[in-house]
Amino acid sequence: MWDIVYCLTGISMIGSMSYCVLYIYDRDSLEYIIQQASWNAVKAYHKTKLEIDNLKIWYYANENKDEDEEIVELDEITETIEFIGYKESDDTTYTSNNLENNKYIQDTVFDLMFLKKKENDVELYKRINEKTEVDKNIKMEKVDKQFIQIELCQNANKTSIHKNLEGFYLTDNTLLDYVFLKWYVNKFYGLLLADTYKLSVIDSDINMFNLDKNQSIIINRKKNYDINTSIQ
């Protein structure tokens, strides 16, 4: 036991001496080493957290598998699709479970549209671009979690906004554009989106990047994403 204590003490002393020497003679190298160590620690943390989250999802999915199979017929009967339409001009949201021959949906111009359904206690939001896509049988293909951190920076404030994105990770969904964010942060966080803002993003591979008002994310069928930049 004392051998271990002596070993750890020796390592600590050597580390402290190395730090002092670099601090005195080569501060630039010391700062670089600290930055690299900090970045590797952050990367390891997020990687570990992502693996734990995936393990939890797998565990709960398999734990409830038998129960889900027993009630699948009932779910199919009671499953409903809800239309969501957002108008930026007056900041209003219209919702309805009546999809067929809905005159208000047909006659109203929306800036943002979704079809929503509940699956395994998760609300899925399929973004649509045309009224012809309003269909209760629309396919919603889920993909793995793409981002482990998204931070909205505006008016000198920072807000983490990635937690409620799980239901939006569907193929062909466009996310994080200005109109989407204006509706999303108000609905889930009670925030008003500023005209100027920045998104700080960390994806599931620990890549870090920023998005501005002219950029958005498109979830593709390769279980990945593309960054789209609009021309103003």
Residue 138 in domain: no
> What's residue 192's pLDDT?
97
Proportion of the chain in helix, strand, coil states, percent, rounded to 5: 45, 30, 30
83 and 48 belong to one structural domain: no
The pLDDT profile of the chain, 232 residues, written as one tens digit per residue, is: 555 444 445 445 555 555 454 456 556 554 555 655 555 555 555 556 555 655 554 555 455 544 444 444 444 444 689 999 999 999 999 999 999 999 999 999 999 999 999 998 899 999 999 999 999 999 999 999 999 999 999 999 999 999 999 999 999 999 999 999 999 999 999 999 999 999 999 999 999 999 999 999 999 977 689 999 987 6
Question: Which domain covers residue 43, as residue numbers?
Answer: 32-68
Tell me the residue ranges of DSSP E strands in the chain.
Answer: 82-87, 92-96, 112-119, 122-128, 147-154, 157-160, 174-175, 198-203, 208-211, 215-220, 224-229
Count of domains for the chain: 3
Residue 3 in domain: no
128 and 86 belong to one structural domain: yes
Give the whole-angstrom CA distance, residue 17 versus residue 12: 9
Residue 209 in domain: yes
208 and 188 belong to one structural domain: yes
The letter for the amino acid at 123 is E
Give the whole-angstrom CA distance, residue 200 versus residue 177: 14
> What's residue 52's pLDDT?
65
Residue 11 in domain: no
> What's residue 6's pLDDT?
47
Residue 91 in domain: yes
94 and 120 belong to one structural domain: yes
Residue 192 in domain: yes
C-alpha closest to that of 182 among 117, 59, 119, 93: 93
Tokens 């190395």, residue located? 18
Give the whole-angstrom CA distance, residue 163 versus residue 147: 10
**Residue 142 per-residue DSSP state:** B
> What's residue 231's pLDDT?
76
DSSP 95-132: EES--TT-HHHHH---SEEEEEEEETTEEEEEEESSGG
96 and 121 belong to one structural domain: yes
> What's residue 189's pLDDT?
97
> What's residue 72's pLDDT?
43
Last residue of a domain, one of 68, 92, 118: 68
Strand partners, 201: 150, 209
